[in-house]
Amino acid sequence: MTKYIFITGGVVSSVGKGLTSAAIGMLLEARGLKVAMQKLDPYINVDCGTMNPYQHGEVYVTDDGAETDLDLGHYGRFTNTPLSKNSICTTGSIYNEVIAKERRGEYLGECVQVIPHITNEIKEDIHKVATEDVDVVLTEIGGTVGDIEGLPFLEAIRQFALDVGRDNVMYIHVTLIPYLGAIGEVKTKPTQHSVVRLREIGIQPDALACRTRVPLSEEVRDKISLFCNVEKRAVVEEMDVKFSIYEVPIDLHEHGLDQLVVDRLGLKSRKPDLQGWHDMLQVVRNPAQQVTIAVVGKYTELNDAYKSIYEAITHGGIHNKAKAEILKISAQDVAEGNAAQLLSGADGILVPGGFGERGVNGKIAAIRYAREKEIPFFGICLGMQCASVEFARNVLQLSGADSSEFSPKTEHPIISLMPDQEGVQDKGGTMRLGAYPCEIAKGSRAHDAYGRHKIDERHRHRYEFNNAYRERFEAEGMRFSGLSPDGRLVEIMELEGHPWFVAVQFHPEFKSKPIDAHPLFASFIEAALRGRKGRIS
Ligand code: GLN
């Protein structure tokens, strides 16, 4: 019998529901349970593909090509649960489905309403991830309790307990306990109010994960327990972590949350095996060495826009027992004249993916600097496309060389629209999305890193390397070391004779984990460390 955990959030947004959900998933897996994870997001967009990273953070892509919320990245980094289109559902996707059914006449003349039609559709989406082998489904509800658009989702998860039995369902509410510095006290009232909102809908939380800056006293937990009608052991302190988000599961475990979950749901499980995680944290707390990686991007002032990139750099550091410091550089600030000055502290330079022309010349200037000064360089998606344009302009001397994304009429379209993208009008869900195979040439850096000939990586792009330029690139030392199995699409390129210059059309960052760094990130950081040692000694 599958059990269900629903995670809601209260008081403020960004309270840490995604991390808390991922941490619980990780702890249950460490107990040998099979977990599925899912996010229900109340916005009206059908998926995250059309959302600006400024507002919503990065778009996380799954193997089957869903463009999802960055919380799924947390699920992917903390757990081994497979993520797919079923792992995300929005108001937009639910209404899309219901309206399509209505048009097909599937409701047989009924008046189609929020309850039961929308709520039924939401419940169906929850059931979809509960495949036979799954012990626990963890479903996070986006937004904050009290939001208008979240109501149908809360109603659906309330009904869900009615359908599958209250004992098979656990509601965990993640809430903020603010600390008022002026009086030196924490305040429980916002949490009380937030739980009242949940209880009005008919949801009595079974546990509260209390986000706090300071430890919660026994009195405070007693008070929360009494006013929120939650047993005291289930009022779980979740304090801000000191070094790393990867401390969250250990902290929750020490506060008894996973034991509470298995007790509440009657799950048979072993003691959690957390050794690998502890070993990883040991490196995070006491790194043997340090390395600085510059990320030259368009949204560098925001932590969330390149979330998976930053995490994957951290993982590459952990793999090499090093702390990877990230130097965030706004591409718009970089020019030929100041690249050396802005990037002089960098042991490695990474140019991430992106869309639109803003900052592209700065990225190209940074890549030129990395290429000429032999600083390890890692280009990802648009980063690979910029590296190609840089090489064409400065090595092949093809003036005006560009991507046709930015100069549709350029004489030298080094990067051009993929044929199957011609004429595509809709922006949502129409790129080359999800996992595609790639074959790696033996003896290449990429092959060294992966130790394999065939790989699968996730994509999200419309443009590709223009094959008309392959030979000219190869003649000047650019090697196309990874190609689609039919040889048509360039997936990886690397510069011969450079300490580490690798650019990829896909997004390796989505598959990196703290205890299993992505091989390219591990190899990139290793090269950056080597270069740093060379420079210092
Ligand atoms: N804008 C480029 C394209 O569509 C790169 C996309 C990306 O970096 N994700 O091909």
How does residue 196 score in pLDDT terms, banded at 50, 70 and 90?
A: very high
Per-residue pLDDT, 3: 97
Cα–Cα–Cα angle for 389, 491, 342, nearest 5°? 45
What is d(CA 113, CA 116) in angstroms, rounded to the nearest whole number? 6
Encode pLDDT of 514-530 as tens digits: 999 999 999 999 999 99
Verify whether residue 127 is a known catalytic residue: no
Mean pLDDT, to the nearest integer, of 41-50?
88
Given a cut of 70, whether residue 537 has pLDDT beyond it is no
Mean pLDDT, to the nearest integer, of 372-389?
97
Identify which of 60, 296, 298, 355 to mutate to test ligand 1's pocket (most ligand atoms within 8 A of the CB): 355
How does residue 417 score in pLDDT terms, banded at 50, 70 and 90?
A: confident
Mean pLDDT, to the nearest integer, of 156-184?
96
Encode pLDDT of 486-516 as tens digits: 999 999 999 999 999 999 999 999 999 999 9
At a CB cut-off of 8 Å and minimum separation 6, what does 422 contact? none
Q: How many CB atoms lie within 10 A of CB 275?
A: 9
Mean pLDDT, to the nearest integer, of 87-108?
95
Calculate how far, in angstroms, residue 284's C-alpha sits from the geometric centre of ligand 1.
32
Encode pLDDT of 27-37 as tens digits: 999 999 999 99
What is d(CA 57, CA 315) in angstroms, rounded to the nearest whole number? 20
What ligand 1 atom has the least distance to the C-alpha of 415? Answer: 10
Q: How many CB atoms lie within 10 A of CB 197?
A: 17
CA-proximal residue: ligand 1, atom 1 (nearest): 355
Tell me the residue ranges of DSSP E strands in 118-246. Answer: 136-141, 169-176, 179-180, 185-186, 207-212, 235-239
Burial of 472 (0-12, 13-18, 19+ CB in 10 A): middle
Given a cut of 90, whether residue 422 has pLDDT beyond it is no
Given a cut of 80, whether residue 157 has pLDDT beyond it is yes
Per-residue pLDDT, 292: 97
85-124 per-residue burial string, b: 16 or more CB within 10 A, e: under 16: bbbbbbbbbbbebbeeeeeeeeeeeeeeeeeebbbebbbe
Share of the chain above pLDDT 90, in %: 88
Residue 353 has which token pair? Answer: 């993916």
Calculate how far, in angstroms, residue 61's C-alpha sits from the geometric centre of ligand 1.
13
Identify which of 461, 506, 507 to mutate to test ligand 1's pocket (most ligand atoms within 8 A of the CB): 461
Residue 331 has which token pair? Answer: 């591409």
How does residue 48 score in pLDDT terms, banded at 50, 70 and 90?
A: confident
Beta bridge partners of 378: 350, 502
Q: Which of 198-207, 421-430, 468-477 has the lowest mean pLDDT?
A: 421-430
Verify whether residue 507 is a known catalytic residue: yes
Given a cut of 80, whether residue 300 has pLDDT beyond it is no
CA 43 to chain centroid, in Å, comes to: 18
Given a cut of 90, whether residue 87 has pLDDT beyond it is yes
Verify whether residue 471 is a known catalytic residue: no
Per-residue pLDDT, 534: 82
CA dihedral 391, 396, 399, 401 (to 10 degrees): -50
What is d(CA 170, CA 166) in angstroms, rounded to the nearest whole number? 8
Mean pLDDT, to the nearest integer, of 253-270?
96
CA-proximal residue: ligand 1, atom 9 (nearest): 353
Catalytic residue among 89, 210, 228, 381: 381
Residue 176 has which token pair? Answer: 């903020």
User: What does pTM read for this prediction?
Assistant: 0.94
Mean pLDDT, to the nearest integer, of 297-320?
90
What ligand 1 atom has the least distance to the C-alpha of 352? Answer: 8
Mean pLDDT, to the nearest integer, of 290-297?
96
Share of the chain above pLDDT 70, in %: 99
Calculate how far, in angstroms, residue 416's C-alpha sits from the geometric centre of ligand 1.
11
Given a cut of 90, whether residue 93 has pLDDT beyond it is yes
Mean pLDDT, to the nearest integer, of 222-251?
95
**What average pLDDT does the structure give for the chain?**
94
Calculate how far, in angstroms, residue 204's C-alpha sits from the geometric centre of ligand 1.
45
Per-residue pLDDT, 312: 98
Per-residue pLDDT, 445: 96
Per-residue pLDDT, 303: 73
- Establish how many alpha carbons lie within 13 A of residue 406's alpha carbon, considering only the half-sphere containing its beta carbon: 19
Encode pLDDT of 346-376 as tens digits: 999 999 999 988 999 999 999 999 999 999 9
Sign of the CA dihedral with 229 first, then 231, 234, and 238 last: positive
CB-based pocket (< 6 A), ligand 1: 353-355, 381-382, 385, 405, 460-463
Given a cut of 80, whether residue 85 has pLDDT beyond it is yes
Mean pLDDT, to the nearest integer, of 427-432?
82
Per DSSP, helices labelled H in 31-173 are 53-56, 71-78, 91-103, 119-129, 151-164
